[in-house]
Amino acid sequence: MKTTVNVAMTLDGKIDNVARQGAKISSDADWERVDAMRAAHDAILVGGNTLLAEDPRLTVKSEELRADRLARGLAPDPAKVGIVSACALPANSRFLNDGGGEVFLFTTERTSPEQLALLRNAGAKVFVLGKTRVDLVAAFKVLAEHGIETLMVEGGGGMIAALLEAGLVDEIHAYIAPRIFGGATAPTLADGNGLLGGIHLKLLTLEKLEEDGILLKYKVL
C-alpha cells in the first residue's frame, strides 16, 4: 500500500494555530489540488484528535471528479479511515454519514461497547486493535487486505509522527503558506515525542503556486 501524507502548513511548520480549531491554511487553488488528490486515492486517513474535534467529511467536492470516479467503476468518494484510541462519535457524525465511500475505524479497548455498536450500526467497519493505542502496522495490514492500494493521510501531527516512526509513510506532500502562526503548542507536521535521528527525505518536486504558496513533495527514505 502506498501511503502519502498531505499537509498544509505555515512557514514555521505549524498545521494549525494555538487555538487548534482547524485554521484555514490552504489557498483556494491548493484546495482544488487536495480535492483531486483525494479523488485519486483509495482511502483517506485522519488521526483521533482531528476526527473527534473536526468530524471531517473527507469527501470529494468536485462533481466532475466524483463522476470520473463513478465512470471508473469506483465509489464517488474514497474510503475514510479513522485511527482513534477512544472513539466517541455521535450517530449523526459527518465522518460516518456523509459521502459514498466505505468507513473504517481502528480503535482500542478504550472505546465503549455502546460506541462500537453505534459505529457498526452506522455501517462502519470497526477493528479493535490494541489495549490503549491502535497497532498501526496491524491496521495497515487490514486496509491492504480490503483492497486499499493508495492511502492519503490528512493529519494531524500526532498521527503523522506515529506513522513516520512506524515506517509506514512513502511520500509527504506539503503546501507551505506564506504565513507564520508561531506558538510552542501549535501542532506541527510531526508532533508526538520526537523522532531522534530524524526522518530522512528526498525532494521529488518543488513548485511555486499562486498567492505565494509553495508545494513540496518528498519521498521518505
Tell me which of 1, 13, 18, 22 binds ligand NAP, using CB under 6 A.
22
Under the binding rule (CB under 6 A), the answer on residue 213 touching ligand NAP is: no
CB of 193 to ligand NAP, least distance (A): 10
Residue with cell 521518505: 220
The smaller minimum CB distance to ligand NAP, of residues 101 and 156, is found at 156
Please list every residue from 39 through 58 that binds ligand NAP, using CB under 6 A. 46-50
Tell me which of 37, 39, 83, 152 binds ligand NAP, using CB under 6 A.
83
Under the binding rule (CB under 6 A), the answer on residue 30 touching ligand NAP is: no
Q: What CA dihedral angle connects 27, 33, 34 and 39, to 10 degrees?
A: 150
* 2-10 and 214-220 beta bridge pairing: unpaired
For residue 173, give the DSSP letter: E
Under the binding rule (CB under 6 A), the answer on residue 158 touching ligand NAP is: yes
CB of 37 to ligand NAP, least distance (A): 12
What residues contact 46, with CB distance under 8 A and at least 6 apart? 56, 58, 80, 81, 82, 83, 153, 154, 155, 156, 159
CB of 81 to ligand NAP, least distance (A): 12
CB of 40 to ligand NAP, least distance (A): 17
Cell of 15: 498545521
Q: Is 127 helix (H, G, I), strand (E, B) or coil?
A: strand
Cell of 29: 487553488
Site residues (CB under 6 A) for ligand NAP? 7-8, 15-16, 20, 22, 25, 46-50, 83-86, 133-134, 136, 154-159, 162, 187, 191
